[in-house]
Amino acid sequence: MSGAARGTLGWLAAGVLVAAALELFTVGLFRPLEYRLLDVFVRSHAARLAPDPDIVLVDIDEKSLARMQDIAGRWPWPRAIHAELIEGLAAQRPRAIIFDIMFSEPDRFRPESDQAFIEAVAKHKSTYFPLVRLDPRDDPRGVPARELAGLVGLIPGPAADPEAQVALIPPLVLPPEHWRAGTINFLEDADGVGRRYALRTRMYGWTLLSLPARVARDLGWTLPAGDDMVLAWRGRAGEFPHVSYSDLYDDFNRGNRQRAADEFRGKIVVVGTGAAGLKDLRVTPLASLHAGGEILGTALENLKNGRHMRVARTLWPALTGLLLIALLAGAFLRNLDARLTGAGLMAGSLALLATAYAAAGRLVLLPVLTPLAAAWLFYFAAALAAYLRERRSREEAIAQFSRFVNPHVVSQLLERGGLEGAGQTREVTLLFSDIRGFTTLSETRAPADVVELLNRYFTLQVAVVFRHGGTLDKFIGDAIMAVWGAPLEDGDHAVHAVRCALDMADTLERFKGEIGDIGADFDVGIGIHSGPAVVGLIGSDQRREYTSIGDTVNLASRIEGLTKDAKRRILVSRETVARCRDAFDFESCGSYKVKGRAQGVELFEPKRKPT
């Protein structure tokens, strides 16, 4: 690969790496797509896991709303209904009863019902309730944090502001001494999907625990260090262990109960609203309508079992992208086939996706979309650059070789992928054709006329060379040098060269007829020799030409020079005769001394076989 191509590849790699770094550390355009891809992995693994049976949802579903209407009326029900549920559940000694229902306003029309609820909660200390953290802009109208600390579990930190005020909505139905509460902030990401649950809310140096974190602390579970956790799901949406609220309420009020008396012993019970009309449905990786009670139950399950998802640090996808681009750059620098490189990248992409899928099963989220997008972007950019470079090289080859060979040969060269390289030794046949009488012609004619005459003659003779599959090597003054057997292989190179020479002689006669009297002294000598020669692009970095060099070339030129002494228009060497003896008749012209050779060279004049 040339220095310019290496430079282009380096700039492409640098540009893609910078774009990937911006995406990973600042922009985040691919983040929603990354989330959705990881959601697929998480959902697949979750479907294979059974939810923890020790956490049960008592669900206020559509069935419960319909069944309880005759007993409790329309929602919201009197709090005495929930008091009866608490009494029934508490009798089975669950570890905790957690309401995912707000109790922020007293019932002005049924105060006795609220009182029954308060008495049940006061009797059973394992009941917990949600509270709402209002917009921080409302904090100046809130309650001093130091007054709320012992009521809602606000924890002061080293830098806690003693004068801070916070705006909260606690379960106001209950007296403050029974506010065993925490926030229920299920956190949505930028794409509107909730994947994380808040553990702590920090305000002016104070810390407020979420409802699942508050329960976990009271039950002695270890809390993760962060302010939130990415939920690790079990089962599909709707598969969380649950009991219909109305079924449970009915059984608690039967004289002869049908459900097990220890159904909830040692368990954590979440009372939630799963009915669509109660609007406690969220978007999660598992479903677009996921009941809030199941989400809260999942957070509790994660804390109970010490299992939650961990997101790999941003450095991981950054290093992955760097490695992929480095490998691709190495492949392009070594001029590997772009299709093979693409296949390798595809295999690597599948392996990386499989790794991310397996990691999700081990509760680790590995972002792979951005490094893969960067790798594929670099691949296509580098492949396009290589294609354009090759196309430009081919166009240059066309421009160069169209001067020397016919279009058919150029097409064959391009189909074959260009030249096989410089400096190859080939068996070829060389033809030299020099004009006789040119000096006299140039002395008697104007320069412009001479040039026009030569151009017309060369045009005719080059067409003959091309017609016989030859390659025009160069013009040497008023001489033509042509070669057969390169750049394309030609098993009959000697036959084609001799046949071309005979046609060139015929073309000369027609040309002389065209130019009239001035062609009386116009003639040519043609020398042909076959043998090995070095062929290829030869020259400087600024200019190279395809040519042939070696003793075969020199001898062909010497033979052309002997045509005048032998008084023959065409002479060929014994080596050429040996390669095309059956195609022509040859007349021996004797041996001639050639400069640079100790022994004479036997020459022959070719003639067409009679038809």
Q: In sequence order, which residues have a C-beta less than 8 Å from that of residue 451 and are 6 or more positions away?
A: none
Domain co-membership, 223 together with 89: yes
Interaxial angle between packed helices 292-305 and 211-218, expressed in degrees from 0 to 180 and rounded to the nearest 10: 40
Looking up tokens 């549920």, which residue turns up? 85
Residue 51 DSSP label: P
The whole domain housing 482 covers 404-608
Q: Quick: pLDDT tens for 252-268.
A: 998 888 999 999 999 99
Q: What is the C-alpha separation between 24 and 28, in angstroms, rounded?
A: 6
Domain presence at residue 42: no
Domain co-membership, 253 together with 297: yes
Tokens linked to 291 = 């009941």
Q: Which of 368, 396, 424 is the last residue of a domain?
A: 396
Q: What is the C-alpha separation between 92 and 56, in angstroms, rounded?
A: 13
Domain co-membership, 496 together with 369: no
Stated pTM of the model: 0.69
Domain co-membership, 384 together with 451: no
Note the pLDDT of residue 139.
Answer: 93
CA dist 228 → 159, 184, 185, 188, 242 (Å): 21, 12, 10, 12, 26
3-class SS of residue 19: helix
- Rg (alpha carbons) of the chain, rounded to whole number: 47
Tokens linked to 62 = 């559509």
DSSP string across 379-424: HHHHHHHHHHHHHHHHHHHHHHHTTTS-HHHHHHHHHTTS---SSE
Domain presence at residue 142: no
pLDDT lower than 70: segments of the chain: 1-2, 396-423, 439, 519, 541-543
Q: What is the C-alpha separation between 199 and 212, in angstroms, rounded?
A: 7
Domain presence at residue 160: no
Note the pLDDT of residue 130.
Answer: 95
Q: Which of 306, 323, 348 is the last residue of a domain?
A: 306
Number of domains in the chain: 3
CA dist 481 → 412, 417, 477, 484, 560 (Å): 22, 26, 10, 11, 11
Q: Maximum Cα–Cα distance for the chain, whole Å? A: 138
Domain presence at residue 21: yes
Residue 424 main-chain phi, psi, to 5 deg: -90, 145
Q: Quick: pLDDT tens for 127-173.
A: 999 999 999 999 999 999 999 898 888 999 999 999 999 999 999 99
Domain co-membership, 319 together with 302: no
Domain co-membership, 476 together with 549: yes
Query: At 524, which helix (H) or strand (E)?
Result: strand 523-539
Q: What is the C-alpha separation between 186 and 249, in angstroms, rounded?
A: 28
Domain co-membership, 562 together with 421: yes
Domain co-membership, 273 together with 318: no
Q: Which of 240, 271, 306 is the last residue of a domain?
A: 306
- Of 14, 13, 28, the C-alpha closest to 369 is 28
Number of other residues whose CB lies within 10 A of the CB of residue 19: 16
- Of 403, 352, 405, 401, the C-alpha closest to 374 is 352
Domain co-membership, 294 together with 199: yes
Exposure of 545 in the CB half-sphere (CA atoms within 13 A): 12
Domain presence at residue 39: no
Q: What is the CATH number of the domain that holds 451?
A: 3.30.70.1230
Note the pLDDT of residue 60.
Answer: 95
Domain co-membership, 424 together with 557: yes
The verdict on whether omega for the bond into residue 76 sits within 30 degrees of 0, i.e. cis, is yes
Domain presence at residue 41: no
Note the pLDDT of residue 8.
Answer: 84
Tokens linked to 234 = 């079990």
Looking up tokens 């904090």, which residue turns up? 139
Note the pLDDT of residue 577.
Answer: 96
Domain co-membership, 219 together with 95: yes
Q: What is the C-alpha separation between 397 and 418, in angstroms, rounded?
A: 8
Tokens linked to 600 = 């004479």
Domain presence at residue 264: yes
| CA 271 distance to own-chain centroid | 47
Note the pLDDT of residue 415.
Answer: 61
Domain presence at residue 576: yes
Tokens linked to 199 = 């553990």
3-class SS of residue 489: coil
Domain co-membership, 329 together with 475: no
Note the pLDDT of residue 277.
Answer: 85
